[in-house]
């Protein structure tokens, strides 16, 4: 299900299906983006603060975005990410973790400069299948609005390329 600005209200929440984070994925991500011993090698990780292989925080953030796309929160309807207000990593994410995302609308407002764009403040959390939160993210995101003048009288459907709505 793709979510649009006009479908949302404060408190609306969506959960994603879980995805498995493997040891190989943690190492592959770390090799390219965060090459620290506790992300790269199980033996080397033993002598670090974590004492074992853990995923990079950047990897956890990236997975949360993927979970949002999978859940329809950021699937072609988001115009732009406007930033992240808060980012917390509560617990390390380990190989074999099944992560799912929860996405809750904190606030909604219209754009001051683009009348067909609405701003959605999402609270995103990635959690392991156990109830402990792995990370929380609060990014404001610009979503397309459905309140386009060309849609007056249209009861169903989404804007198309020929409906006169601004596409960014």
φ and ψ at 128, to 5 degrees? Answer: -75, 165
The separation between the first and the last C-alpha atoms of the chain, rounded to the nearest angstrom, is 21
CB count in 10 Å sphere of residue 160: 10
The whole-number pLDDT of residue 133 equals: 45
Cα distances (angstroms) measured from residue 74 to each of 3, 11, 89, 152? 8, 17, 21, 26
Burial class of residue 137, CB neighbours in 10 A (0-12, 13-18, 19+): buried
- Point out which residues pair with 119 in neighbouring strands: 109, 142
Q: Which helix (H) or strand (E) holds 17?
A: none
**pLDDT score at 144:** 38
- Average pLDDT per run of 10 along the chain, which is 168 residues long? 83 93 97 98 95 95 91 78 83 91 91 86 84 49 36 30 27
Pairing state between β 140-144 and 117-128: antiparallel
pLDDT of residue 42: 97
């Amino acid at each position: 299900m793709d979510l649009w600005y006009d479908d949302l209200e404060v408190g609306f929440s969506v959960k994603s299906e879980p995805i498995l984070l493997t040891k190989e994925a943690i190492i592959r991500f770390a090799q390219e983006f965060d090459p620290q011993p506790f992300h790269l090698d199980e033996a080397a990780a033993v002598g670090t603060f974590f004492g074992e292989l853990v995923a990079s925080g950047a990897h956890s953030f990236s997975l949360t975005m993927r979970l949002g796309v999978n859940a329809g929160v950021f699937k072609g309807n988001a115009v732009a990410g406007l930033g992240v207000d808060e980012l917390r990593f509560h617990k390390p994410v380990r190989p074999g973790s099944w992560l799912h995302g929860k996405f809750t609308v904190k606030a909604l407002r219209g754009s001051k400069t683009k009348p067909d764009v609405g701003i959605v403040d999402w609270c995103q959390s990635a959690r392991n299948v156990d109830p402990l939160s792995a990370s929380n993210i609060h990014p404001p995101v610009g979503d397309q609005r459905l309140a386009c003048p060309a849609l007056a009288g249209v009861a169903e459907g989404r804007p198309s390329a020929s409906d006169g709505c601004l596409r960014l």
